[in-house]
């Protein structure tokens, strides 16, 4: 069974950028769809971004798209999510998730993904 692991969280100052990473037991992200999500205390899990690596199309949440860049490394084994101009409202646990995919665009909702990481905490101070 694939193990998804996120990293890169921590404490950042408002206005700074942060890059999160995600791996899945060393597997290549070439035939999956992957998603980035976050959940703040007392709130529902929110979709941030997703990518269908079969058609290389990435979707971003409308409210965040101007600050996000999703990518992967050349070996296709590590995903990245860069968030710019971080704000205190961005404080949350951030998750990476993967799922099987066809050629349709990836869904920006949690139920579209079957395997999740444990999350990495991001805290933004003002």
Q: How many CB atoms lie within 10 A of CB 31?
A: 12
**DSSP code of residue 89:** G
* DSSP reduced 3-state for 99: strand
| 71 pLDDT above the threshold of 90 | yes
pLDDT range class, residue 31, cuts 50, 70, 90: confident
pLDDT mean over 56-78: 94
Beta bridge partners of 13: 125
pLDDT mean over 25-54: 94
């Amino acid at each position: 069974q694939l193990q998804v692991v996120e990293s890169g969280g921590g404490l950042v100052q408002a206005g700074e950028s942060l890059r999160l990473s995600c791996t899945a037991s060393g597997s290549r992200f070439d035939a999956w769809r992957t998603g980035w999500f976050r959940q703040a205390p007392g709130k529902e899990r929110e979709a941030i971004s997703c990518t269908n690596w079969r058609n290389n199309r990435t979707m971003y949440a409308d409210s965040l798209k101007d600050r996000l860049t999703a990518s992967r490394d050349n070996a296709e084994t590590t995903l990245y999510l860069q968030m710019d101009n971080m704000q205190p409202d961005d404080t949350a646990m951030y998750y990476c998730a993967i799922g099987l995919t066809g050629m349709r665009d990836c869904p920006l909702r949690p139920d579209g993904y079957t395997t999740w990481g444990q999350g990495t905490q991001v805290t933004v101070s003002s």
